Amino acid sequence: MDERRKTEENTLQEALGTYERDDCARFHMPGHKGRGLAGFWRDELAKWDMTEISRTDNLHAPHGAILTAEREMAKAYGAKASFYVVNGSTNAVQAMILSLSEDDKLLLSRDCHRSAVSGAALRGIETETILPRFDEETKLLGMVTPEDLDRELERTHATAVMITSPNAYGLCADVAGLAKVAHSHSALLLVDGAHGAHFPFSDALPHGLGGVADLFAHSQHKTMDALTQAASLHLGECRISANQVRRALAMTETTSPSYLLMASLDWSVYMAKRRDWTAQVARIAALEPKIEAIEGLIVPKTPERCGVFERDRTRLVLDVTGRGLSGYEAQAHLEQNGVYIEMADARRLVLITTPNDDASWYARLLSALETLPVKETAEGKSHHEPLRCGHHEKAMSFRAAAFCALEQVRLENAAGRVASEPIGVYPPGIALVMPGEVITKQDVDSLLRERTLGGALFGARGGMALVTEKR
């Protein structure tokens, strides 16, 4: 062991090495699964780690190899222009909002990633929120519907709308319908499509966003053969120019981009066209009945009644409450059996599957699920409730709250105070409370319950919440 750290904690090198040596089943991002970079990866790794020279081009002013690669990506995604992003789709989402003008007004879906909240704060743009529908039967957060969007645009007169599709559970909105409504109000449609980068590469997958959304972001590293942090931003035919997007990216993206990340983006699009995504959908479709044959396990189907238009059939979602367990408890059991997943919540497991999965992993998954313990509760079943987005009293703007004088209070004592930063559970990174909103007693109770179950909170580090000095 490294002499610098003789503790129970491993060094990062040791943590990565032991995970690889243990040969775990990887049902999480990145999509290459430690296998899909064969042919791209080289032993001479350091030789591929470059900087901006005449032969390698410049990400922020591309004219050569990077520009050629971005144009190929635009063709693949049906975009007017595409942009490589090396700071993850967090950067891409922020850049979409930073591309808007100071006269724009943003309507933000409440299930947005925390990066959208910070993007709105950085831009200082007037922002209101719209609530996606919720399915009471499956306890899944649904989507914003075209009907709801039409009503809210009529009320708010917003000039730009941002939604998430697909969400972390693989559920997709009627993006074409939403675009039609937004455009009828002369509003732009911005889509955080981080989890759907693979959609255009098979008819068995949901529809892609090209030719529909005005701006959309993808995380190729989540489901495709790209290195972690490798993402992209895409521009459709709209009033936003490519120069505006490039400028917005330059504001927040590193000036020393990793050429390994960019090369992996190029590789991921090349390989996505050659991966058999249709076969992967069929593989998961065959797996789902085997899972549901295990007592107490449910694979939720597409909850169309809550605005969900389609679902990503490569995304495996399992409700484990029939065994009296929380998703976090089930996750811990799987990890004890060498199966690692993307995320858990109060009642579910979420697994990312790709054509790069090893076939043996599915047998290991089934074996681990079959041995899940059954936990008796007072009522005879689990009553774990997921966090639910809801409207909040707004005391100040995102920007004012994010940059004001602040103080730290214990989360237990935060009710009635104004949040200075987003507060929620990660993953998936959805803010239960946004900056400038009044924290309610229900918020506190929900967050504490989630933490007790095993969820990791953001915006409440060490059990402390950052709030504004003004009550």
Q: pLDDT class for 104, splitting at 50, 70, 90?
A: very high
Nearest of 244, 188, 243 to residue 216 by alpha carbon: 188
- Out of 205, 238, 272, a domain closes at 272
pLDDT of 4 > 50? The answer is no
Q: In the prediction, which pLDDT does 383 show? A: 56
Whether the CB-CB separation of 59 and 84 falls below 8 Å is answered with yes
> For 374-423, what is each residue's pLDDT tens digit?
987 644 444 577 788 888 999 999 999 999 999 999 999 999 999 999 99
**Residue 260 shares a structural domain with residue 404:** no
**Is 173 part of a structural domain of the chain?**
yes
Residue 303 or 107, more confident: 107
Q: What is the average pLDDT value for the chain, to the nearest integer?
A: 92
What is the percent of the chain where pLDDT is above 70?
94
pLDDT in tens, 165-197: 999 999 999 999 999 999 999 999 999 999 999
pLDDT band at 44 (very low <50, low <70, confident <90, very high): low
Tell me which of 3-17, 149-163, 267-281, 346-360 is least confident: 3-17
Residue 277 within a domain:
no
Verify that 267 and 131 share a domain, yes or no. Answer: yes
Residue 462, SS3?
helix
Instruction: Point out the domain boundary residue: 210, 238, 272.
Output: 272
Examine residue 442 and state whether it is found in any structural domain, yes or no: yes
Quote the CA–CA distance of 243 and 392 in Å, as a whole number: 36
Rounded CA gap, 29 and 218, in Å?
Answer: 13
Residue 130: φ, ψ to 5°: -125, 140
Count of domains observed in the chain: 2
pLDDT in tens, 283-297: 999 999 999 999 999
Residue 265 and residue 403 in one domain: no
The model's confidence at residue 41, banded by pLDDT at 50, 70 and 90, is: low
Residue 6 lies in a domain: no
Report the CATH number at residue 199. Answer: 3.40.640.10
Q: How confident is the model at residue 42 (pLDDT cuts 50, 70, 90)?
A: low
For residues 136-155, give the mean pLDDT: 95
What digits encode the pLDDT tens for the residues 310-337?
Answer: 999 999 999 999 999 999 999 999 999 9
pTM: 0.93
Alpha helix (H) residue ranges in 175-258: 175-184, 220-223, 242-252
Report if residue 198 sits inside a domain: yes
- Distance CA(260)–CA(257), nearest Å, equals 9
The answer to whether residue 364 sits within a structural domain is no
- Whether residue 108 is contained in a domain is answered as yes
455: in domain? yes
Select from 247, 272, 297 the last residue of a domain.
Answer: 272
The residue segments making up the domain with residue 442 are 398-468
pLDDT in tens, 394-408: 999 999 999 999 999
- Residue 432: give its domain's CATH number: 3.90.105.10
